Amino acid sequence: MISKLKYLVTFLLLTDLPFAFSTPYEIHGYLRMSVFEYHTRYYDENGNIKVYPRQTQIDLTADNTEIQYLFSDDTPLGQDIVINFTTDSKWENAVYKVAKTDDLSNPARERELIWRLQDNSIIIDANSTPLAGYNGQHEIVVRAHGYAPRYLNIHLVQDAPRIYVSNGRKPTTGEELRLKLKDFSYRLVNPIYEVKLDDQVLNSTDYRVISNLITLEKHVVRTPGLHTIIIKAWGFKDAKRTLKFYKDHPPLSGASLTASENSAIDASSVTSAESGPFMNAAVVFNFDLISNALILQKLGLDTQAVNQIIDAWENTDKTMVRAAGQTQFYSWEDYTYEAMEAEVTGDYLSFEDFLTLPPNEYLGRPYQIKFMLNDGHFGEAIAFNQAIAIDPPAVDFNIESTTGNVVIRADAPFWLEKVQRIKVGATQLWDYEYTINNSVIRILNQDRFMSGDNLVTIIADGYRDLELTIVLD
């Protein structure tokens, strides 16, 4: 991995931006984003929701396909699942957890399964609650002490649904054919993912799916005779039926077929591009992160994260910019205008020079913003005043055995001086319920705590809120 310094130096040499030597800290703007994407949460390896870009380096190995250590065949629903692995006694002895992953990839919400080790395989009991009665694909994680977690998708299948011709109509060449699946039910997302005709996979423009109805377009079957249709759906064995098609219209020519396919593709792309709903989301980019992404692109080291970062950057309507450690914002348009003017005269304008002009402060403020992360996703939406505040310090805490008081230690006198409020759960503590002395916060009133997890929030002026989970027996 190239060092951060080398990334930035390379950026100065390669980028074609006219203000390459300007180095602001953050750039804010608005990006057209689907409501679904806006509300999607991403989690780190500890199960914490990602909010801020903790680093600006981009992992070049993130897109690499991991070695598949675990293998499992399709399993009929209701039977034990067998996961095979190559002989590895050390790893096998270190396995301590087999679980179904959370749909949002939160490690803290994995649901452990009933399992046992047997002859280089893991046997998962069919009666494990997260799987029992749920046909379809399920992601499984196997955790072992001293090893990275290993993941596997298992497929639990029911008997194949039967294929009926809707309304018993005679299958005819050159006409739409509507098929109906019987004994086919699913929960939220339609599981049909592939349709084949005579062992050839059809394009998405060759058929339509609504619930349990599959409609083959007019151009799909062009010759009379026997044709075999296979419908694949997650959670089911393949549905298969051979039908006899009758000649009613002449076979479609290549030209008419091409026109039909082109019109279908055009309509599909328009529909996809305009699907929504969408919203204008306030977003933030760290300048170093954008620099690193552009450098990797110039070097031909594109990854999915790099492409997502650059795509979002290029499509964002940029509004304001700031320097590190400052709460004042300035117009992105003013900044780029002055930088481009300097380039015309053969000069360059650093961001520090721009701040000496002096520029007018940009006063517009969004309510919530989302940070671009180094994995190409946006973090959880956060209140603007929290987003521009300073990170709180690291703290240690414990419960005194003699008094039962909660003791929080922080070697950060400036932060301690700015503490304004402390909350346990949603309840704000009174001044007499805690003390701050000698770099120690001591919460005195135990009546505010309940057995189990207790969220403690420390609010300090100019700092992001510090949240701690205190566990009491």
Tell me if 68 is assigned to some domain.
no
**CATH number for position 449:** 2.60.40
Please count the residues of the chain: 473
Q: How many CB atoms lie within 10 A of CB 393?
A: 15
283 and 360 part of one domain: yes
β-partners of residue 201 are 196
Tell me if 217 is assigned to some domain.
yes
End residue of a domain, out of 157, 189, 213: 157
Task: Read off φ and ψ for residue 295, nearest 5 degrees.
Answer: -65, -50
Predicted TM-score (pTM) above 0.75: no
Q: Which of 457, 465, 461 shows the shortest CA–CA distance to 406?
A: 457
What is the reported pLDDT for 66?
58
What is the reported pLDDT for 267?
33
Residues in the chain with pLDDT values less than 50:
1-21, 249-275
What is the reported pLDDT for 40?
83
251 and 292 part of one domain: no
52 and 89 part of one domain: no
> Taking a C-beta distance cutoff of 8 angstroms, is the pair 23, 323 a contact?
no
Angle between helices 287-298 and 4-14 (to 10 degrees): 70
Tell me if 73 is assigned to some domain.
no
366 and 427 part of one domain: no
* CB burial readout 172-184, b (16+ within 10 A) else e: bbbbebbbbbeeb
293 and 334 part of one domain: yes
- Provide the domain count of the chain: 4
Show the domain range for 347.
4-60+278-387
> Taking a C-beta distance cutoff of 8 angstroms, is the pair 283, 378 a contact?
yes
Q: Mind listing the pLDDT tens digit for each residue in 249-287? A: 444 443 333 333 333 333 333 333 334 578 899 999 999
Task: State the Cα–Cα distance between residues 366 and 382, nearest whole angstrom.
Answer: 11
Tell me if 69 is assigned to some domain.
no
End residue of a domain, out of 211, 243, 270: 270
Task: Answer whether the bond into residue 358 is a cis peptide, omega within 30°.
Answer: yes
200 and 214 part of one domain: yes
End residue of a domain, out of 157, 185, 214: 157
- Parallel/antiparallel/unpaired status of strands 121-124 and 81-85: antiparallel
**CATH number for position 177:** 2.60.40.10
Tell me if 297 is assigned to some domain.
yes
Tell me if 70 is assigned to some domain.
no
Tell me if 67 is assigned to some domain.
no
Tell me if 372 is assigned to some domain.
yes
Token representation of residue 127: 């009666």
What is the reported pLDDT for 117?
93
179 and 258 part of one domain: yes
Task: Answer whether the bond into residue 18 is a cis peptide, omega within 30°.
Answer: no
> Taking a C-beta distance cutoff of 8 angstroms, is the pair 154, 74 a contact?
no
Task: State the Cα–Cα distance between residues 372 and 381, nearest whole angstrom.
Answer: 11
- Parallel/antiparallel/unpaired status of strands 75-76 and 150-157: parallel
What is the reported pLDDT for 270?
34
What is the reported pLDDT for 123?
94
174 and 124 part of one domain: no
What is the reported pLDDT for 67?
61
347 and 410 part of one domain: no
Q: E strands, 35-126, where?
A: 70-71, 75-76, 81-85, 95-100, 111-112, 115-117, 121-124
What is the reported pLDDT for 89?
86
